[in-house]
Amino acid sequence: MVVGDFAIDLETVVIGAGPGGYVAAIHAAELGQKVTVIEREYVGGVCLNVGCIPSKALINAGHRLQEARDASAFGISKTDATIDFAKTQDWKQHQVVERLTGGVRMLFKKHKIDLIEGDAFLKDDHSLRVIKSDSAQTYTFKNLIIATGSRPVEIKGFKFEQRVVDSTGGLNLPEVPKELVVIGGGYIGSELAGAYANLGAHVTILEGTPSILPNFDQDMVKLVLDSFKKRGVTVITKAMAQSATNFDDHVEIKYEVNGQTETIKADYVMVTVGRRPNTNDMGLEQAGVTVGERGLLPVDNQGRTNKPNIYAIGDIVAGAALAHKASYEGKVAAEAISGKPAAVDYRAMPAVCYTDPELASTGLTLKEAKAAGYDAKSDKFPFMANGRAISLNATEGFVKLISNKADGTLLGAQIAGSGASDLISELTLAVEGGMNITDIALTIHPHPTLSEAIMDAADVAEGFPTNI
């Protein structure tokens, strides 16, 4: 039954309640706008519900299990640790995911943001229709922020069903598989491959390119490959997945490598070959919004589309599909609507991969810096020379600084090792602030900490490698 279809006037509307949408909505409300959020599935988006947050919960569970099973380096012997995976999944859902998504709903109430649950379809550049299972309603709006995110790519021969899953299904497996095949060795595939390996699965990664994690320097990737080898993860590169056949108790995957067709059996196969922007079937053409290549929406430096009152942020615009990028763009768009001179600046956009060890990068790599015309150099400090890393028995990895030879300006940085996901923020601020190597070298870092490796790397860059 469909009831009601008169137009209701709204001020600022945000479609999508993920990390881009809910941050945009809250900041717009903080700036005095009357905000309405439309969400069809997950308050908190993919990230909080079936992406960033639950994946890190499983990664952490895997680390805890491995630590319990092997602490012999510290003189601790306990080899009988087991896992109740159903309890792990319950903790992940009820203590982690629901706590955070509930927090978003509370913030909406705090800021008097209206939430409408349903599918939004644009009628023109100032009105839209929200469809629910039993009703439909038309709304007019003054300004609109589209933050609809992205969805997993489904490849030919691997229809998502039963034992063929995307990353969402991979996070919600009913048991730890004995055999797991992961197609795609990017961020998501490598993270979840490592998580399930730590939880006890034998994992095989099929990657179509010559290397996993192609967005990171090879000296960083090598550390992950070495860790995978120690945990029995099989990595097959230049492998083209062909098909998956479901059986009652397993799935058979065919792939081609070196001109030969191979078959591998597994309990599950998880496909993580990329994501596609959610911009189709929502009426963008009717609203006159330009849709670019691969379904991405072209925007200016404030997130504005070709329609001056319609903005787009996150995975549906150009750039890396990162939750923190979407949040940042959401703030900029909210400020632009309020008439503030905000604009995006991607000089230092951090990226993190939660593998073993963790990988993190910000600013330019050495290759990118040279391509941009800088006379740049790279300087490293190894964690094996850091007192805190030694005490943690986590000496794999390094801090690498990319600087301009002419004036020592920090252009970028990469960290591989324990705590990289947290340490990269200091260097992101340094790149964003235009700091130079001397600024970092003269910043007093507490001892003993992993962060000292950043100061020591700056010492190396200045030609005074005090601690190596």
Known catalytic residues?
Answer: 447
Query: Cα separations (Å) of 425 from 97, 347, 361, 421, 445?
Result: 24, 13, 10, 8, 14
Does residue 241 contact residue 155 with C-beta atoms inside 8 Å? yes
- For the chain, how far is it from start to end, CA to CA, in angstroms? 74
Residue 7, C-beta contacts closer than 8 angstroms, at least 6 positions apart: 127, 138, 139, 140
Short-list 276, 432, 435, CA closest to 349: 432
Beta pairing class for 127-131 and 136-146: antiparallel
Task: Indicate the SS3 state at residue 242.
Answer: strand
- Alpha-helical (H) ranges within 200-253 are 218-230
Query: Which residues 6+ apart lie within 8 Å of 337 measured at CB?
Result: 12, 28, 31, 33, 143, 145, 311
Distance (Å, rounded) from C-alpha 55 to C-alpha 51? 6
Beta-ladder partners of 277: 150
